[in-house]
Each structure stands twice: as structure tokens, then as C-alpha cells.
Amino acid sequence: MSGSDALPQIDTSRPHPARVYDWWLGGKDNYPVDEELARRILALDSTAVRGARANRRFMHRAVRTVAEAGTRQFLDIGTGIPTEPNLHQVAQGVAPDARVVYADNDPIVLRHAEALLRGSGEGTTDYVHADVRDAETLLRRAAESLDLTRPVALSLVALTHYLGDEADGDDVHGLLRTYLAALAPGSHLILSQVTADLNPEAVAQAADAFKAGGTPFFPRSITEFQRFFEGLELLGPGVIPVTGWRPEAEDVAAQAEGVVPVYAGVARKP
Ligand SMILES: C[S@@+](CC[C@H](N)C(=O)[O-])C[C@H]1O[C@@H](n2cnc3c(N)ncnc32)[C@H](O)[C@@H]1O
């Protein structure tokens, strides 16, 4: 595991995205302040719990898809609090020698990193405590475990809606281009993020609630989401609401409960 030596403090005075999401997924690694915001957002957007579960299942399907296509290296940024099966379990379920590097900037995820590293197959699993916006550090640390001259699946699942555009000082599209430029041809991008296209009022209110809780939140339109994949080859069925991406039985059942405002897509770097 790499990162800072002293464990950073967990701030229980304000909600954190990883812990709010954990509450929606039925986890126990959250504090009253997180539960309060998770419940408030759920009251505004009744799809929050279904959306979190659907998003998690998308991660499973996408990782299996690229592992079955031959990918043996994964860089998962914005990993979140462990929720089984975790990405390395899915990847190593297909290919026991798959290598996985997890990264997140939340101290609570760092505390749980050991759980993420447990039970690896023949492959290795590592954890980096870093902010996605520090691409240079993150890529350097990832390169300690992964061979960046060979294909890597870069997954940013339910992360980019916490990052702003150029005008907000984050330039999330430029950031993704930086990561992709560092990856070899044959690498994949696995992406999902919240949109206001499908459920505009509820999502706008939920975004305001996140912001009021101290977390900037940026839903994106389909056009803005598609821009993340510029220069890449989208795998079928392309960019689509998350339950529609190569759905399995549970996703088909979830579709019947209504759309969740999350776009998903997977693409290959030519
Ligand atoms: C909604 S969770 C998604 C977890 C997991 N990827 C999934 O989809 O199941 C978002 C994660 O992104 C992390 N995150 C948010 N902003 C980040 C940043 N600037 N750098 C690194 N991680 C970040 C949060 O700490 C949280 O764990």
C-alpha cells in the first residue's frame, strides 16, 4: 500500500461522498451526518438507492467484460468503501493473475484498504491514497504495480460528477485526456456518472443538497458525458442509462422500476 505514512483524520462533522454512497448501499461505514444527507437526497430523488445498486452492478459487468476481453491490469480511481464483490474480486474471478490498483482520496477508504487488498488471487492488489486531480502522482504510484506500457482498464465509476469543468477549476475532460494519454493502446475506459437529463428536478435538488453539505456536484448531459470518450472506440451498446449497459436479469428487473439518472459507457483506446 502506498500513500502518506500517518493516517489522515476522518472528519465526522460533514458528510463525505464515499460514506453517503455506503449508506445507500446498505453499508455500516458511515456516520450520522452521512446518513442524514443520504436520507435527505433519497427524499428528493427516490432513485438514489436503486441508482447506487445499479451503478455497482454496472462496475461488475464492465470489469468482467474487459477482463474476458483479455485485460489483466486495472486502475480504479474513486474506489469507495469496500462492498463485496469488489473490483479485484470480479477481475480476478475471470483472470486470477489480474493486477489491480485502487485509489481514493477519502481517509475512510484508506482505513478500509486492507479489506480491499485481502483475498487477492495470484494477481496483486494495491492501494494509493491520492486525489484523482493529481494525475502525475497517481500515475507514478500506479506504475509501481502496473506496467503502463501494456493495456490497463481505467475505471472512474461514479466519480466524475464530483469534478467540475475547466471554468470550475477542475477541467475534468482535460484530466481524463491526461490519464488516457498515459495508457497503452488496447486500454479501456470504464465510466459512469449522474445526469440531470433523465430526472432533472430531482437531480438538481440532490446536487444542491450535496453542495450544501460541502461536496461540489456536477451532473452532466449526454453530450458532456460522451465527450469523455472522444478518440476512443465505444463498446456496444455505447453510452446508455446504467441499467441498459449489457443488462443481466437483475438489471432487466431494475429497468421495470424506472430509469435511474446515471449514464454509463465503456470504450477502448485504439
Ligand atoms: C460514489 S463513490 C463510488 C465508489 C465506486 N467507484 C462505485 O462506483 O461503486 C465515489 C468515490 O469517489 C471518491 N472521490 C471523490 N472525489 C475524489 C477525488 N477528487 N479523488 C479521488 N477520489 C475521489 C469518493 O471518496 C468515493 O469513494
Domain boundaries, the chain: 17-268
Ligand 1 centroid – CA 25 distance (Å): 14
**Cα–Cα distances in angstroms (integers) from residue 260 to residues 48, 52, 216, 223, 246, in the given order:** 8, 9, 20, 18, 15
Q: Which atom of ligand 1 is nearest to the CA of 20?
A: 1
Ligand 1 centroid – CA 27 distance (Å): 15
Burial of 114 from C-beta contacts in 10 A (0-12 / 13-18 / 19+):
exposed
**Cα–Cα distances in angstroms (integers) from residue 21 to residues 55, 119, 154, in the given order:** 11, 24, 21
**Phi, psi (5° rounding) for residue 83?**
-145, 115
pLDDT score of 119: 62
Q: Which residues line ligand 1 (CB under 6 A)?
A: 17-18, 21, 55-56, 59, 77-80, 104-106, 109, 131-133, 157-159, 162
pLDDT score of 113: 86
**Whose CA is closest to atom 14 on ligand 1?**
78
Tens of pLDDT, residues 200-230: 999 999 999 999 999 999 999 999 999 999 9
DSSP string, 5-72: SSPPPP--SS--HHHHHHHHTT-S---HHHHHHHHHHHHH-TTHHHHHHHHHHHHHHHHHHHHHTT--
Tens of pLDDT, residues 73-132: 999 999 999 999 999 999 999 999 999 999 999 999 999 887 777 666 666 899 999 999
What is this structure's pTM?
0.96
Tens of pLDDT, residues 44-84: 999 999 999 999 999 999 999 999 999 999 999 999 999 99
- Whether residue 150 is predicted with pLDDT greater than 90 in this model: the reply is yes
**Comparing C-alpha atoms, which of 266, 268, 263, 223 is closest to residue 240?**
263
Distance CA 197, CA 214 (A): 24
CATH number for the region 17-268 comes to: 3.40.50.150
Tens of pLDDT, residues 245-266: 999 999 999 999 999 999 999 9
Distance CA 222, CA 270 (A): 22
Tens of pLDDT, residues 167-199: 999 999 999 999 999 999 999 999 999 999 998
Ligand 1 centroid – CA 219 distance (Å): 15
- Whether residue 157 is predicted with pLDDT greater than 80 in this model: the reply is yes
pLDDT score of 4: 47
Q: Which atom of ligand 1 is nearest to the CA of 192?
A: 8
